[in-house]
Amino acid sequence: MNETDMENLSIRRLDSVEPGFASALRQVLAFEASEDEAIDRAAAQILADVRARGDDAVLEYTRRFDRVEASSMGALELSQAQLEAALEDLEPKRRAALEAAAARVRAYHEKQKIECGSHSWEYTESDGTMLGQKVTPLDRVGLYVPGGKAAYPSSVLMNAIPARVAGVKEVIMVVPTPGGVRNELVLAAAQIAGVDRVFTIGGAQAVGALAYGTATLPQVDKIVGPGNAYVAAAKRRVFGTVGIDMIAGPSEILVICDGTTDPDWVAMDLFSQAEHDELAQSILLCPDAEYLNRVEASIQRQLPTMPRREVIAASLAGRGALIKVRDMEEACEIANAIAPEHLEISAENPRQWSEKIRHAGAIFLGRYTSESLGDYCAGPNHVLPTSRTARFSSPLGVYDFQKRSSLIEVSEGGAQMLGQIAAELAYGEGLQAHARSAEYRFKRS
């Protein structure tokens, strides 16, 4: 998109009272993740090779794709001293910001651990039978972090800290270093977050090493963290061998505004997601048509000042929308249908409207709550469901790094009562061994 195109950026305008609005909205929301068969085949081949040849395959792909020569996997592992040096070498203001963000993320997830049923429990019935649930953290988690200059240290904090709070014994991070270039801020974040081991590998080969294990890198129980199309394809394929967090789509923001917020603020909030990616989505819902005009004018005025203006312009032109709604009630109904990753309620009484929201990854209440604060330092996790999966999915949290086991201890008396029920149902299903297993525990007269 050239400068002339940006000066005449046309962002889609919709009105909920117009015929065909529902169809037009579906078109705006339509996004099919490209299931590129060539990418999927390449990822499958790399995974099979890593599974068969382990370290040697990982070293070969690292030479080929990242242009990094290493004689062994051990040479690609960073020491704790190197992580500590990355932290110590940070400019003081940057280090203070990183540590403050980490402290807030940790505090939030500590609270989450208490409130979200992260403790084992049990109860005893009148005949002495005990029933309950045991909550245990995962043993080992792998964290994938994209490499290069566009790496995101905030993602290290958001993925590693909840794992640590959950009680995961070992967190292993993989991060590619194309051309041998390391992102020191990412390494500093790993040190602050308590990452145990860091390997400078990436791509589908790193996912394979985490999922299957090699002589040097042990197999993990779950892989979390964002990556490119090859990483996403590899994560999708190893699911079942290990757990994964999610396959994330492009970033999304939906702003509900009553027209009382500075339009420059709202325009910049829309930019904040649009600058991620040409496929990112930024939508504004408002009952005031004149306010939408003011936001559109602000977009046109501010866009040329943005360093990533070409990406923002492509995103807004391709997947953005300014939508006039009948009222704030309807805005909330539409928001629930969209089920956005990020939802800002920029209004005088945000809590009144938040009570009507059922589907959103994160809800930002009030005009002072910019989505970017949630990305970096508010405390709640910024790993959120995209592509309308907020209808049935949740943000990454402590609970994603724990599992639950049922506890059953049946007393002699309980075996008599439960055994009769179980045997009757087992005979009904034609499973005689099940029935007899229960009956053998009956008291004999």
Please say if the pLDDT value at position 39 is more than 80.
Answer: yes
- Residue 425 confidence class, pLDDT cut points 50, 70, 90: very high
d(CA 367, CA 365): 7
Judging by beta carbons within 10 Å of its beta carbon (0-12, 13-18, 19+), is residue 38 exposed, middle or buried?
exposed
Longest CA span, the chain: 94
Are 261 and 367 in contact by the 8 Å Cβ rule? The answer is yes
Residue-wise burial string across 211-239, b where 16 or more C-beta atoms lie within 10 A, e elsewhere: bbbbebbebbbbbbbbbebbbbbbbebbe
- Residue 24 confidence class, pLDDT cut points 50, 70, 90: very high
Q: Which of 252, 275, 296, 341 is catalytic?
A: 341
Share above pLDDT 90 across residues of the chain, in percent, rounded to a whole number? 92
User: For residue range 143-202, what is the model confidence (pLDDT) as tens digits?
Assistant: 999 986 667 899 999 999 999 999 999 999 999 999 999 999 999 999 999 999 999 999
- Residue 443 confidence class, pLDDT cut points 50, 70, 90: confident
Angle between helices 432-439 and 412-428 (to 10 degrees): 160
Average pLDDT of the segment spanning 356-360: 98
Amino acid at 243: G
| Mean of per-residue pLDDT scores for the chain | 95
Domains belonging to the chain, first-starting first, are 3-33+249-378 (3.40.50.1980), 37-244 (3.40.50.1980), 410-439 (no CATH)
Q: Which of 109, 276, 342, 359 is catalytic?
A: 342
On the CB side of 229, CA atoms within 13 Å amount to 10
d(CA 119, CA 96): 33
Radius of gyration of the chain, Cα coordinates, nearest whole angstrom: 26
Using alpha carbons, select from 304, 261, 305 the residue that is nearest to residue 284. Answer: 261
For the question of residue 341 being annotated catalytic, the response is yes
Please say if the pLDDT value at position 5 is more than 80.
Answer: no
d(CA 435, CA 421): 9
User: For residue range 80-122, what is the model confidence (pLDDT) as tens digits?
Assistant: 999 999 999 999 999 999 999 999 999 999 999 999 988 999 9
Average pLDDT of the segment spanning 226-251: 94
Query: In sequence order, what E strands does 162-320 have?
Result: 170-174, 197-199, 222-224, 243-244, 252-257, 281-286
Are 315 and 280 in contact by the 8 Å Cβ rule? The answer is yes
Average pLDDT of the segment spanning 240-258: 96
* 35-44, 292-301, 432-441: the lowest-pLDDT one: 35-44
Judging by beta carbons within 10 Å of its beta carbon (0-12, 13-18, 19+), is residue 172 exposed, middle or buried?
buried
Please say if the pLDDT value at position 210 is more than 90.
Answer: yes
Please say if the pLDDT value at position 406 is more than 80.
Answer: yes
Are 296 and 263 in contact by the 8 Å Cβ rule? The answer is no
Average pLDDT of the segment spanning 349-357: 98
Query: What are the distances in angstroms from CA 112 to CA 54, 289, 308, 374?
Result: 38, 40, 36, 16
User: For residue range 152-164, what is the model confidence (pLDDT) as tens digits?
Assistant: 899 999 999 999 9
For the question of residue 359 being annotated catalytic, the response is no
Please say if the pLDDT value at position 32 is more than 80.
Answer: no
Please say if the pLDDT value at position 248 is more than 90.
Answer: no
d(CA 82, CA 76): 12
φ and ψ at residue 21, rounded to 5 degrees: -60, -45
- Residue 7 confidence class, pLDDT cut points 50, 70, 90: low
Q: What is the pLDDT of residue 35?
A: 62
Please say if the pLDDT value at position 6 is more than 70.
Answer: no
